[in-house]
Amino acid sequence: MPVFYGHQIDSALMLGTAQYPSPAVLAQAFRQSGAGIATVSLRREGGEGQAFHALIRDLGVAVLPNTAGCHSVREAVTTAQMAREFFDTPWIKLEVIGDHDTLQPDVVGLIEAARILTDDGFQVFPYCTEDLSVCARLLDAGCRVLMPWGAPIGSGRGLNNPYGLRSLRAHFPDVALVVDAGIGLPSHAAAAMEMGYDAVLLNTAVAKAGDPVAMARAMALAIQAGQLARSADPIEARDMAAPSTPLFGKAVLE
Amino acid sequence: MNITLNGERRSITGPTVADVLAEIELAEARVATALNGAFLPAARRADTTLKDGDSLEVLSSMQGG
């Protein structure tokens, strides 16, 4: 099970709290998913915040606030400071967005913000790309968790660059790695776990499914399967067939 | 005085941030505040005085991915 900044979490599934058809469905989806961490945001208090906060508290899971929607270092750092006080946690899912269409991280701003926040005592979960040098810089900046995207947020495209994600896993065998964003199907989540990722963070794939509660369960099972497969040391793929049934003892029938 | 409160121009009495939160019935609510783009810790709300044209953000927990 994943360990983030010294805290062991009982599930490799991290689940977002946005876009569910109702608060009741959100709560049921969480129960079915067994997720150990819920991501949340800070937004202008329009009268719903207090009830939502109570709902999240009742889920009984660790809370990971995000800086979603922030496009500058300053905005992200200020949001993180507000989140730390509000949620009473040093954890922050750091997002510094660089592009409106792809919601691709601004990796330069991300590294700068990560350094400012870790120097200030935060434990940063950076939403990043799978670029090895960017990830190395994030580790230099004090991050102990990396969260590369699978595909653009909400796209459901799965793992766009399996080679890059596998390569990142191999380069940083001791760093907690989470595939964050782009998951659409349980098979995508299972693939990330089979690669040796420590956890998967997803939201839209569950919340916008026709039956979010069933999809939450499907994701949980897929992640469990992927995790078990990884620890079972899968075979290498090969180009040529290799008969599984023994040839020895086969009758001559011609 | 007039301030921008969560993006909307508002006439408030103030003068402190804590007073404004009471005015908008959020004195007891769990919120996070920022004044003119900078984080304002809860402990400083009572002695932080607003001036005309200030921008105050009052945030709370919301859905997030």
Encoded tokens for A127:
């939403």
Which of the following is catalytic: A84, A93, A137, A169?
A93
Tens place of pLDDT per residue across chain A (254 aa): 999 999 999 999 999 999 999 999 999 999 999 999 999 999 999 888 899 999 999 999 999 999 999 999 999 999 999 999 999 999 999 999 999 999 999 999 999 999 999 999 999 999 999 999 999 999 999 999 999 999 999 999 999 999 999 999 999 999 999 999 999 999 999 999 999 999 999 999 999 999 999 999 999 999 999 999 999 999 999 999 999 999 899 999 99
Q: How far apart are the CA of B18 and the nearest CA of chain A, in angstroms?
A: 15
Tell me, rounded to whole angstroms, the distance of Cα A2 from its chain centroid. 11
Dump pLDDT digits (tens) for A83-142: 999 999 999 999 999 999 999 999 999 999 999 999 999 999 999 999 999 999 999 999
Encoded tokens for A69:
């929607």
- Between A and B, how many residue pairs show a Cβ–Cβ distance under 8 A? 97
Encoded tokens for A163:
């080679």
Separation CA A226–CA A213 (nearest Å): 20
Residues listed for chain B: 65
- β-pair type (B8-11, A145-148): unpaired
Is pLDDT at B14 greater than 90 in this prediction? no
Q: pTM of the entire structure?
A: 0.94
Burial of A213 (0-12, 13-18, 19+ CB in 10 A): buried
Specify the pLDDT at position A152.
96
Answer whether B62 sits within 8 Å of A83, measured CB to CB. Answer: no
Encoded tokens for A214:
């069933």
Separation CA A205–CA A156 (nearest Å): 7
Query: Could you give all domains of chain B from N- to C-terminal order, each with its CATH number?
Result: 2-59 (3.10.20.30)
